[in-house]
Amino acid sequence: MILGQTTRKNFTQNPKNDILSGLTVALALVPEAVAFAFVAGVDPLVGLYGAFMMGIVTALFGGRPGMISGATGAMAVVMVHLIQKGNEVGTSLDVPIENLGLQWLFITLLFVGGIQILAGVFRLGKFVRLIPHPVMMGFVNGLAIVIFLSQLGLFPNAVPQEISIWKNTSEWFSYLFSNSDLWKMLAFIGLTMGIMFGLPKLTKKIPAALVAIIIVACITILGGIEMSTVGSFIREGGGEGLQGELPSFQDQIFLLFGTLSGHWNLIISTAFILAAVGLIESLMTLNLIDDMTDTRGNGNRECIAQGGANLLNGLFGGMGGCAMIGQSIINVDSGGRGRLSGAVAAIALLCFVLFGAPLIEQIPIAALVGVMFMVVIGTFAWSSFRIIRKIPLSDAIVLIAVSAITVWKDLAVAVIAGVIISALVFAWKNATMIRARKRMQPDGTKTYEIWGPLFFGSIQNFNSKFDVKNDPQKVEIDFIESRVSDHSALEAIFNLVNKYEAEGKSIKLRHLSKDCKTLLHKAHPKFNEVIVDDIDDPRYHLAADPEKFTKPLSEYNI
């Protein structure tokens, strides 16, 4: 009973809000899917159907109600290289397959789906928790900038490229101010943003983005105002509108696999990159929506859903994709909290393509750009400017670096680089924390009281604390305030004991954890005499497994 109630609650808490927000998202999905299809070098229909399949599968089975998935730029920039290579091979082999690169993409998506499903099955989604907060802030800032820059490509040319602002200054400004298409677009973008800003102050019962799109579309259509629309945008990019047939590879699968001889490395490597990019962007978006809604999604379930959606895209001729942060924020801000909102967005997108293409093609690009600009404003972590001088320098560097790399390269590279930098900084700080307090006992025994974590990064500092040659005959090392963390730390203890015994001195080890003592006992029986058992020994687990500690004794230099 409780499970059923939870499932219904996840599907929809407010049907009206979910339906209206889903329609808003569907309208915003159209130009995004088309634009990313052009980036990847595929037909707009491939991007649109890919967005539908990603959206419906993840909406119903994903790990985050209210999160929107579709064709994304992060994956498109990886796909384009595979498609170009496939087309080159098709030309050189003279095979009777139209657009071989696109067919290769479908094969690659099958592997992408399999990899992502395995990531969910093996519960790798939890590793997103290791992403530090500065990386998360850098991610949203960089992504906001990327979304903003992607919208600039939808503007008409302000001034012809052959006119230089430096050589022809007066002509440049004259052309700029006389460019009516540009100023009309800016005016309608401003109107869209104004409606989205002001309407929530009057009522929140209807999505401001949907109202803004409808109002701007009505003004331009009924007023006969000529400007760039969804339809003109598709045709200018080389497409034929929102209608046509969806390509697939089932009819020529045996001939297609014959073209892959010698190119499997490219297919597999691209599949792993696409899978990684998709999962990182999806899991980061999931965390962001979690924070916005004060709820918690399931990362592993999202991995499986993303994989299943990409698998279907490969089988039925879609572009594939992952979670979309911009559309997800539009959905949440418009009141979409349940799975119904994502399902409505996907189904509405399909209906636009199948039945409403002539109407959707008349929507002004300016309205959709205005919506995305408001998303940029809502996505960017403006608080980062306030705290940048108050946080540690290393965190500030990570935040700025992740933002810059997201814009320069892509999200996956930025996040991985940010995590690596943060991990190195953390390791360095902990490596310098190791301390050794020294005191002499009444019986002449010298005691080293170790404080701080003992791991691979702190071993050098740990070894420098001891004066083996000049120490008295009896030495005691107390680990009560230290944690022996990994195999490198154990090696350091092995070698230290060996050095003292080589000098003919007695050494005792106190307050080691049970796991650590087990490993030492397995290394050599003499540690039964070296280790002192105390009632207050710490209880924590090492990174090493005692059952797998099978190195030959000679390797421990004991």
pLDDT per position as a tens digit, 333-388: 888 989 999 999 999 999 988 888 788 788 888 988 888 888 788 878 898 888 88
Q: Are 52 and 312 in contact (CB under 8 A)?
A: no
- pLDDT attached to residue 543: 54
Q: Per-residue pLDDT averaged across 230-256, rounded?
A: 67
Please give the Cα distance from 329 to 288 (Å, whole number): 9
Indicate whether 4 pLDDT > 70: no
| Shared-domain flag, residues 451 and 356 | no
Maximum distance among all Cα pairs of the chain, rounded to whole angstroms: 100
| Shared-domain flag, residues 37 and 159 | yes
- pLDDT attached to residue 550: 47
Q: How far is CA 211 from the centre of its chain?
A: 31
Indicate whether 454 pLDDT > 70: yes
Examine residue 115 and state whether it is found in any structural domain, yes or no.
yes
What torsion, rounded to 10 degrees, do the Cα atoms 441, 442, 444, 448 define? 0
| Shared-domain flag, residues 156 and 25 | yes
- pLDDT attached to residue 477: 93
Please give the Cα distance from 313 to 307 (Å, whole number): 10
Strands 322-323 and 69-70: antiparallel
SS3 assignment, position 175: helix
Q: Are 430 and 460 in contact (CB under 8 A)?
A: no
| Shared-domain flag, residues 351 and 437 | no
Q: Per-residue pLDDT averaged across 209-234, rounded?
A: 88
- pLDDT attached to residue 243: 62
Which of 94-103, 438-447, 488-497, 549-558 is predicted with the least confidence, judged by mean pLDDT?
A: 549-558
| Shared-domain flag, residues 360 and 241 | yes
The 10s digit of each residue's pLDDT in 255-305 is 677 788 888 899 999 999 899 889 988 998 898 898 888 888 899 999 999
- pLDDT attached to residue 91: 79
> Which residue would you say has higher pLDDT here, 372 or 95?
372
Q: How far is CA 289 from the centre of its chain?
A: 13
| Shared-domain flag, residues 334 and 474 | no
Q: Which of 465, 462, 453, 466 is nearest to 513 (CA)?
A: 453
The 10s digit of each residue's pLDDT in 412-445 is 788 889 989 998 998 888 888 899 999 999 999 9
Examine residue 68 and state whether it is found in any structural domain, yes or no.
yes
Q: Are 133 and 413 in contact (CB under 8 A)?
A: no
The 10s digit of each residue's pLDDT in 97-107 is 777 888 899 99
- pLDDT attached to residue 448: 95
Q: Which of 245, 217, 216 is nearest to 99 (CA)?
A: 245
- pLDDT attached to residue 108: 94
Examine residue 417 and state whether it is found in any structural domain, yes or no.
no
Looking at residue 247, the DSSP 8-state letter turns out to be P
Q: What angle do CA 446, 448, 449 make, to 5 degrees?
A: 135
Q: Are 364 and 20 in contact (CB under 8 A)?
A: no
Band (114; pLDDT cuts 50, 70, 90): very high
Percent over 90 (pLDDT), the chain: 32
| Shared-domain flag, residues 346 and 442 | no
- pLDDT attached to residue 519: 77
* The total number of structural domains that make up the chain: 2
Of 349, 365, 381, the domain-final residue: 365
Examine residue 522 and state whether it is found in any structural domain, yes or no.
yes
Band (200; pLDDT cuts 50, 70, 90): confident
SS3 assignment, position 328: helix
CATH number for the domain spanning 540: value is 3.30.750.24
The size of the chain, in residues, is: 558
Examine residue 195 and state whether it is found in any structural domain, yes or no.
no
Of 365, 389, 423, the domain-final residue: 365
Examine residue 409 and state whether it is found in any structural domain, yes or no.
no
Band (5; pLDDT cuts 50, 70, 90): very low
- pLDDT attached to residue 553: 41
Where in the sequence is the domain holding 12, given as residue range(s)?
2-180+230-365
Examine residue 394 and state whether it is found in any structural domain, yes or no.
no
| Shared-domain flag, residues 9 and 118 | yes
| Shared-domain flag, residues 322 and 471 | no
Sign of torsion over alpha carbons 547, 548, 549, 552 = positive
Q: Which of 77, 14, 36 is nearest to 324 (CA)?
A: 36
Sign of torsion over alpha carbons 538, 543, 547, 553 = negative
Examine residue 318 and state whether it is found in any structural domain, yes or no.
yes
The 10s digit of each residue's pLDDT in 242-251 is 666 666 665 5
Q: Which of 326, 324, 415, 412 is nearest to 77 (CA)?
A: 412
Of 365, 388, 415, the domain-final residue: 365
The 10s digit of each residue's pLDDT in 498-544 is 899 999 999 999 888 887 888 777 777 777 788 887 666 665 555 55
pLDDT, the chain, mean: 84
